Amino acid sequence: MAHIVAEPCFNCKYTDCVVVCPVECFYEGESMLVIHPDECIDCEACVPECPVEAIFHEDNLPEQWKDYIQLNKDMCSPDNQPPWPVITEKKEPLAGK
């Protein structure tokens, strides 16, 4: 099982979480981040760093956000075009957050 970035990250994109990730498993899209499920080691270092509480262990993901499991997988896939890049450094959050 892996950790999942869910709805609260959409149009927010705080990046506090990426700097504590020891395996660099965060990928950056235009409006949110995702976690690569095969790279995540479930260390949970990212969870307390997220100021909007958008990161959940897959087993604890609220029912209304279950679609984000597949979204996280799909956006990290090499088949996704254009591919989302790995993000390892903190950036400014999206405007208004």
- Domain of residue 43, CATH code: 3.30.70.20
pLDDT at 97: 52
Classify residue 88: in a domain, yes or no.
no
Q: How many helices (H) and strands (E) does the chain have?
A: 1, 4
Classify residue 32: in a domain, yes or no.
yes
Classify residue 82: in a domain, yes or no.
no
pLDDT at 14 over 70: yes
Classify residue 28: in a domain, yes or no.
yes
Full domain range(s) for residue 36: 3-76
> Could you tell me which of 9, 10, 87, 97 has the C-alpha nearest to residue 53?
9
What's the pLDDT tens digit per position in 69-90?
999 999 988 888 888 999 999 9
Classify residue 91: in a domain, yes or no.
no
Domain count within the chain:
1
Rounded to an integer, what distance in angstroms lies between the CA atom of residue 39 and that of residue 2? 8
Classify residue 15: in a domain, yes or no.
yes
